[in-house]
Each structure stands twice: as structure tokens, then as C-alpha cells.
Amino acid sequence: MIHPTAIIHPKANVAPSCDIGPYCVIGEHVTLGEQCQLHSHIVVDGHTVLGRENEIFPFAAIGLKTQDLKWRGGTTHLRIGDKNVFREGVTVHSGTKDGEATVLGSHNLLLAQAHVAHDCLLGNHIIMSSFAGLAGHVVVEDHAILSGYAAVHQFCRIGKLSILGGCTKVVQDVPPFMIADGNPGVTRALNKIGLERNGVSTEAQAALKQAYKIYFREELGGTDALAKIEKEVPALPEVQHLVQFIRASERGICK
């Protein structure tokens, strides 16, 4: 299952069930879990750990040194879960400071030329469309979708079950369950289709719609809007997550 042209460091930890295609390069400190498939012309380097059944397509570069100019040496990491797909030309970099890590969960799909920079934290079931890019220290929660050419500024957060429109420029946090679009990105509406597809109850959808109207459509300050949501909207888990996400924002919410 290893092509004779592949170059694998003798100290790399590659599970016997992995399929390593032509001209792949695997570094010394790399761990590949069971049934990972590397098609061809792929570089996996650095202190990088991949779980089971990850699939990587040609010309992807996984785990290489951060591009951050604050790099001063040390051991940095990239940790990737199970059953992720990295399409052609995807780049994912390790952390910047000694001991820091970039982390991706499981079941994520990164389409051609998507970029995940240093120290990002990605959850599960995320889709990054072609040429979508995350700057350093970005957090992306579960089931978020980033459309093509979406660009996310450093330290921003993308909430769960949110969706970014194509070419969206994100400079503040995108709240969960919402659609954001524009340059700069603005919260446009509740992500109703995404909520339906992921089995969110009609009761929770109605509550989130009410919370959306209070926070984004009424002329209230952020603190007052959150207080009104907590007073008037059913305290369902989805609503509580939305409120907690907004309250924890350091860059502000894109409105």
C-alpha cells in the first residue's frame, strides 16, 4: 500500500493499513492512523497526528511550519481527528509558539485550495469550500459552512451551524445558526435550511428566529438585547448557546 516513489521517514508512525501514493513525503514526527489514504504528491510534516480514515488529495501540504512571523522555534503541533477529506492544494499549518497546536476535529471537508492557518481550532462536520481561508487563531464550531473565497480575520469565531456566503470578509464573530454575507460580513438571516437539514426542532427554530429579531432587528444595545432574549425567549439549548456565544465575544458580533 506504499508506492515505491513515496519518501517516508523511518521514524514516522504510519499504520499498516494506510495507502500512500506516488511522490508523497512523510516527515519524522508524523503519525498516520489506520486506513488513511494519501493519493499522490502530498507533504505531511512537523509534529502532526492524523486519526483514522483521513483522505488527502494531490498537492496538499499538512503540518508544515507556521507562516506567522512571530515564530521563534520550539515544538509546535497539528492534531487532526478522523474521516476528514483534504482536497487538492489544501494547506494546514501547525501552531506558532512552543507547545501550541492547530486542531481539527472529525468529518470535515476542505475543498481545493482551502487554507487553515496556525493555531486555529476547528470542530466537526465543517465544510470549507474552495479558496476559503482562515487566518491565525480562528475558531470554527461544528457544522459551519464557509463558501468559496470566504476570508476570516485572526481571532474571529464562526458559530455552529452558521454559513458564510461566497467572498464574505469576516472581521468579527459570526453568531451560531445564522447566515453572514458581504464585505465586511453582516448577519443577514437565520440559517433555516441548515437548521432543518441538521434536525433542529421546529420549537428551537422558532425560538432562534425570535432571538434573531431581538438582537439584530430591534434597536437595542447588545447587553439589553441579550437580557430581553433571556427574559422572553424559551431557554432552549440552542438559544442558550447563541446567548453564551455572543456574550463571550471579544471582537464583537457582525451585525
Q: What is the pLDDT of residue 175?
A: 98
For residue 38, what are the CA distances in angstroms to 41, 83, 112, 173? 8, 13, 15, 34
Domain assignment present for residue 166? The answer is no
Domain assignment present for residue 27? The answer is yes
Look at residues 110, 137, 164 and tell me which one is the last residue of a structural domain.
137
Domain total of the chain: 2
Q: How does pLDDT run across 96-134, given as a tens digit for each residue?
A: 999 999 999 999 999 999 999 999 999 999 999 999 999
Q: Which residues constitute the domain of residue 128?
A: 7-137
Other beta carbons less than 10 A from residue 190's beta carbon = 21
CA separation for the pair 174, 140 (Å, rounded)? 10
Asked if residue 174 lies in contact with residue 185, where contact means CB atoms within 8 angstroms, the answer is yes
Q: What is the pLDDT of residue 222?
A: 93
User: Starting at the edge strand that comes first in sequence, how are the strands of the sheet with 91-93 ordered?
Assistant: 7-8, 25-26, 43-44, 61-64, 91-93, 115-116, 133-134, 151-152, 169-170
Q: How does pLDDT run across 3-49, given as a tens digit for each residue?
A: 999 999 999 999 999 999 999 999 999 999 999 999 999 999 999 99
Mean pLDDT confidence for 131-160: 98
Catalytic residue among 118, 137, 143, 241: 118
- Measured on CA atoms in the order 72, 74, 79, 84, is the torsion positive or negative? positive
Angle between helix 202-212 and 222-232 (nearest 10): 150
Domain assignment present for residue 207? The answer is yes
**136 in catalytic set:** yes
**185 in catalytic set:** no
Q: What is the pLDDT of residue 254?
A: 95
Catalytic residue among 81, 123, 136, 185: 136
Closest C-alpha to 46, from 109, 107, 112, 91? 91
Please indicate, yes or no, whether residues 128 and 31 belong to a single structural domain of this protein.
yes
Please indicate, yes or no, whether residues 80 and 202 belong to a single structural domain of this protein.
no
* CATH number of the domain to which 201 belongs: 1.20.1180.10
Domain assignment present for residue 149? The answer is no
Catalytic residue among 45, 68, 82, 119: 119
* CATH number of the domain to which 44 belongs: 2.160.10.10
